[in-house]
């Protein structure tokens, strides 16, 4: 495969793509907006280590100095972690503007999918995807992640939709967009912090090789669009569903009272949940990300 001249590849990622070795994309919003420093940088470095240990080259994606970067150096990871939320959170609508201004951007799921696709990477590991927000029938607050899954041919491995969302409507939206939802070892859509949600997936697959075969078939048939692979949080870190649901309800009401909206709502709710659960949710978040990177690397290797 040729390299895309619009992408700034790290030497490791460029060599892997040119030699048809397995590569997985990793996002950068989790570094700058998802966790406090230095835990965010430590988590990012561990994700890269886990990818390599499971046979894939990690390609963390971000916009730095206006360049679309696929594969970051340790210094670049450190910069994103230290700068934190001051780095712009970048989705599809933001990429061209940030690049034209020579700015920095931490990429969301949608943004990472775009860079991964441009770079020729087919598998991407993240924590949880965005979705249809509660009350979306009035606010029309629907994450760009879902639209991207409907149009961009990258497989996304995650721990389901964040439980702050309306998971039922999120699945309905994915069905409308023609996005298959594959449960790894589960018949049920996980809800990020918990292994269950009460909503079923389209297909259950228990072997990374089976998932890889389905992804290859979709590519070979020329069927455009992404695939969502949901991987439940490890049982050890799964939180009590009733407890976390109550915390989320309280956080959603607080957000309404304070008038928190748009792209600020998810970071606000996740921060509230972390504070109320005494860090238990952060531990779960880190564990599920590692779990997803491990699975994504195995799928990419099997492809």
CB of 153 within 8 A of CB of 118?
A: no
Q: Is 27 a catalytic residue?
A: yes
Sequential DSSP letters for the chain: -PPPTTEEE-HHHHHHHHTT--EEEE-SHHHHTSS-TTHHHHHHHHHHHHHHHTT-EEEEEEEETTEEEES--HHHHHHHHHHGGGSEEE-HHHHHHHHHTT--EEE-HHHHHHHHHHHT--EEE-S-B--BBTTHHHH--B-HHHHHHHHS--EEEESBB-TTB-HHHHHHHHHHTT--EEEES-SB--BTTBS--S-B-SEEE--HHHHHHHHHHHHHHT--S-EEEE-PPPGGGPPPHHHHHHHHHHHHHHHHHHT--GGGHHHHHHHHHHHHTTTHHHHHHHHHHHHHHHHHHHHHHH-
Q: Which residue has the tokens 């921060």?
A: 271
Question: Which residue of the set 78, 148, 162, 272 is catalytic?
Answer: 162
The tokens for 205 are 């697959």
Q: How far apart are CA 217 and CA 70, in angstroms?
A: 26
DSSP designation for 152: S
Q: Is 162 a catalytic residue?
A: yes
Q: Torsion angle of alpha carbons 183, 131, 283, 47, nearest 10°?
A: 70
Q: Please name every residue paired with 26 in a beta bridge, in sequence order, or none if there are none.
A: 60, 125
Catalytic positions are 27, 162
């Amino acid at each position: 495969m040729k390299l895309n001249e619009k992408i700034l590849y790290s030497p490791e990622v460029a060599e892997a793509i040119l030699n048809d070795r397995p590569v997985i994309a990793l996002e950068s919003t989790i570094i700058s907006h998802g966790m406090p420093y230095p835990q965010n940088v430590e988590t990012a470095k561990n994700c890269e280590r886990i990818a390599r240990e499971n046979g894939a080259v990690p390609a963390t994606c971000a916009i730095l100095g206006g360049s679309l970067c696929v594969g970051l150096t340790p210094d670049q990871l450190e910069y994103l972690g230290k700068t934190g939320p001051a780095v712009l959170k970048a989705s599809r609508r933001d990429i061209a503007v940030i690049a034209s201004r020579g700015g920095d951007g931490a990429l969301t799921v949608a943004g990472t999918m775009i860079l991964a696709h441009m770079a020729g990477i087919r598998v991407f590991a993240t924590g949880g995807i965005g979705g249809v927000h509660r009350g979306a029938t009035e606010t029309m607050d629907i994450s760009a992640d879902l639209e991207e899954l409907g149009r961009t041919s990258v497989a996304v491995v995650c721990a389901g939709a964040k439980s702050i969302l309306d998971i039922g409507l999120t699945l309905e939206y994915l069905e409308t967009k023609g996005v298959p939802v594959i449960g790894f070892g589960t018949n049920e859509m996980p809800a990020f912090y918990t292994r269950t949600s009460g909503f079923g997936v389209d297909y259950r697959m228990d072997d990374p090789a089976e998932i890889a075969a389905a992804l290859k078939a979709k590519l070979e048939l020329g069927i455009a669009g992404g695939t969502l692979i949901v991987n439940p949080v490890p049982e050890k870190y799964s939180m009590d569903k009733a407890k976390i649901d109550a915390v989320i309800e309280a956080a959603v009401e607080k957000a309404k009272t304070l008038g928190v909206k748009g792209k600020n709502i998810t970071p606000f709710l996740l921060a509230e949940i972390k504070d109320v659960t005494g860090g238990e949710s952060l531990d779960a978040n880190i564990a599920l990300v590692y779990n997803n990177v491990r699975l994504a690397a195995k799928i990419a290797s099997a492809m």
